[in-house]
Structure 1
């Protein structure tokens, strides 16, 4: 089931973020990860459009949207490969149409996921906090 975020989800989603982020972004220095974690908890979860996916009644992942840009998509690693990330993106595409995302070039989970979904690299950028290079990706217009 996919549903809107509730403030009572915060601790559970942060636990998911901790596990998923460690796999997706092992290249980020600890101090950058700590700041991003604080920003997720204090800024993004309360202010972005966040959708939660549940499995057997418990949250197992979430997607945070800023207009039509995916600000973050994180799944409990035990749920990787089960199609839940695709379900979240499908849900948002139904609501908003073609999406964009910016992903670390070194994200060995995120880049292939978005490419399999049909996102194309449209440019490059840098993550301000660390200087790490990113890909700007977009779904083709339909």
Structure 2
């Protein structure tokens, strides 16, 4: 990612209206370990503090989104191979690839949906 792309994405994230999503946090006491945001049955964001990677917490958030919020779609940056593998292991399959992200940058997206 170029420094300019990083700056643009950071600015874009700061404009997100989280009221447009169902957002749920995974907490331990007063510490937020991660969160997931879903809109129209699509996972729009899943973030986990890197300190907690590999502990099954991302899967816990994903299970919640799928089972409780009926989420069955997600877009993943093709370059994020760890995320692509994570969703594949959960049963998501690629149904479309774009050459650019939703903002027109040269980052291919993989549109994935939960296999039937």
What is the TM-score with the length of structure 1 in the denominator? 0.72
Structure 1 ranges of 4+ moved more than 3 A: none
Alpha-carbon shift at residue 37 of structure 1 (Å): 2.2
**Aligned residue runs from structure 1 range 51-90, under 5 A:** 51-90=24-63
Q: Decide which structure has greater strand share.
A: 2
- Is residue 2:115 matched to residue 1:140? yes
Q: Of 87, 96, 99, which aligns to 1:114?
A: 87
Which one is further off, 90-99 or 71-80? 90-99
Paired residues of 2:96 and 2:112 also in contact (CA < 8 A): yes
Shift of 1:98: 4.6
**Matches of 1:64 and 1:117, distance apart in 2:** 17
Q: Is the 8 A contact 1:53 1:61 kept in 2?
A: yes
How many aligned residue pairs are there? 114
Structure 2: which 5+ residue stretches go unaligned? none
**What is the root-mean-square deviation in Å for CA atoms of aligned residues?**
1.7
TM-score after normalising by structure 2 = 0.86
- Is the CA contact 1:61–1:74 (under 8 Å) kept in the aligned structure 2? yes
